[in-house]
A and B are shown apart, each in its own frame.
Chain A
């Protein structure tokens, strides 16, 4: 277990460094000098240019520049957003909580709904109920989330004025954005839950339990569902990625504060320091979540990690 955890952790660190290198190189790939890119409109100010050139160590070799940038990033210093007139870390601190709130609510909705759809599909396999639940799952995966969000606004904020059109910070304002985000991811969970339940139903130990004379319900809960938990855990890890990227569109649709909308705004306004920081945070968070899932695995399944 310790060796397993150590290996996973080492792989994560390599991955995080890789992500950091890519995000760092992003700035080098932008046409023009990084200083003009970072300063934006302030690039006409020679004092600011000289100061930033010195801070970034642009006259040093690239690896040295990268190391400096990484050191700063690890300390939480992501540079200064000249467009917003404040440090990028402050922008992140303002926007992160509402994104976490949205992604958490979305995850909850997608899990509850996805497990319900998947169980119906697996237990009533090849019946009309199965076709309907899998049809719903597939359609939800395929719906463009920005459009779904607007349709939900039309239905539940315009036609039936139950919820605010613009998602504020209130709990009521969270409902429509969370459903928009959760429904999009729910379809994947549903299909995945169904196939892992079906796979578990086909294992020899389930046949043995049935042969022993255990009731259907007991077999399902004790022998099928337990074994289906592991694959579902993996998909939750993968879904954190879908949820985080989903927040980008949902936050824009509902004009909700959050790092997704911050990312889009900073791309549009060419605020590259903020772009780098948000991409780094989202990708880093995604990588860490997947590590946590990997580490949970051996706790739930003693076969993993022993080898």
Chain B
């Protein structure tokens, strides 16, 4: 899913058949569409994130308050999203659970992003043997389907939220490293970087001041794209029992909790998953719009 080739988005559409191959005007209409998508993404994210941030303000009960007398109540004004088998409020659990799913995904992109960027910068700027070894290791990690790699890492580390974050971050490392390495390689050859080198700037200075800014658009795009994937995988690991452990309300773990009573209490499954889906769709809408803007060469073609 990290392929820039997968972008739908902006193409010189009105001019379709007769356009010259390198003619790439973004038509007004496709620009508008892009803005609309971006706005839709922001709105979706706000719907999801605001209650999660407000937490106790929007939920009078805590996520772990049990009340057997209230078990399996359907959604109503008193219980917005109904209750589960222990009488816990699903709304409260969804609102508090978002902190785990979203927080863990953010941790994933920060950890994986920093490690992958560092490796990519080193490999792209220094090249040589070190660069070669780093990039072959990257190729090897990319040979595993992502979730399989994450599962393998959790098999080693054991199931927990922190280990799930580490596992999903490890999957992100080669993705960042590949993008950053390409950008760094390109920038390192530009005349102004060669000039800086000739003037006696050290490698640290050059990487920080010249190479990193050049790689930044790619890093930003990769981060928005991967944030959604990270949320999906953190929740998937939670669902499989390999991430967050009960009773912590993480969205994927909540879906797994609700599965047992699916036929009598659909709300325990539908709502946490819907919040997760809305978060991921929102992030990908924004990611696509950013990709078209920041990365015009990769967009659409």
Contacts and interface: CB of A to CB of B under 8 A. Distances in A.
B211 interface: no
Contacts of A207: 17-19
B258 to A, nearest CB: 8
Contact of A144 (B139, B140, B276): B276
Interface string B1-16: 1010111100111101
A73 interface: no
A188 B274 CA distance: 20
A19 B152 CA distance: 12
Interface stretch (A47-55, A82-90, A171-179, A245-253): A245-253
A264 B242 contact: yes
Contacts of A192: 5-6
A283 B140 CA distance: 11
Contacts of B156: 26, 29-30
Nearest to B12: A202
B21 A268 contact: no
Given A195-B301, A231-B5, A249 B11 contact: no
Contacts of B11: 125, 195, 198, 202
Nearest to A198: B11
Interface string A259-293: 00001100110001001000100110011000000
A207 B19 CA distance: 8
A141 B1 contact: yes
B87 interface: no
B14 A126 contact: yes
Interface string B232-249: 100110011110000000
Interface in A231-264: 231, 238, 241-242, 244-245, 248-249, 252-253, 263-264
B62 interface: no
A240 to B, nearest CB: 9
B273 interface: yes
Contacts of A275: 152, 155
Interface of A: 15, 18-19, 22-23, 26, 29-30, 121, 125-126, 131, 134, 137-139, 141-147, 150-151, 153-154, 158, 165, 188, 191-192, 194-195, 198-199, 201-204, 206-207, 210, 231, 238, 241-242, 244-245, 248-249, 252-253, 263-264, 267-268, 272, 275, 279, 282-283, 286-287
5 closest cross-chain pairs (CB), A and B:
A147-B273, A241-B145, A142-B280, A245-B147, A245-B145
13 contacts: A141-B1, A144-B276, A150-B255, A150-B258, A158-B262, A192-B6, A198-B11, A201-B16, A207-B19, A231-B5, A264-B240, A267-B155, A279-B151
